[in-house]
Amino acid sequence: MSFDEFVESVSSGTAPAGLSGALVALWWDKKGDWERAHEEAQSAGSREGDWVHAYLHRKEGDEGNAGYWYSRSREPFFEGTLDAEWEAIAKALL
SS3 45: coil
pLDDT of residue 48: 98
Q: What is the pTM of this model?
A: 0.95
Q: Mean of the per-residue pLDDT values for the chain?
A: 96
Residues 30-40: what's their mean pLDDT? 97
The alpha-helical segments, DSSP class H, found in the chain are 3-9, 21-30, 34-44, 47-60, 63-73, 82-93
Percent of the chain, pLDDT > 70? 100
**CB-based contact 21:49 (threshold 8 Å):** yes
Flag whether pLDDT at 93 surpasses 90: yes
56-68 pLDDT tens trace: 999 999 999 999 9
The ranges assigned to domains in the chain are: 3-10+20-93
Amino acid at position 58, single letter: R
Residues 65-73: what's their mean pLDDT? 98
6-32 pLDDT tens trace: 999 999 878 999 999 999 999 999 999
Those residues with Cβ within 8 angstroms of residue 65's Cβ, 6 or more apart along the chain or in another chain:
57
Residues 25-48: what's their mean pLDDT? 97
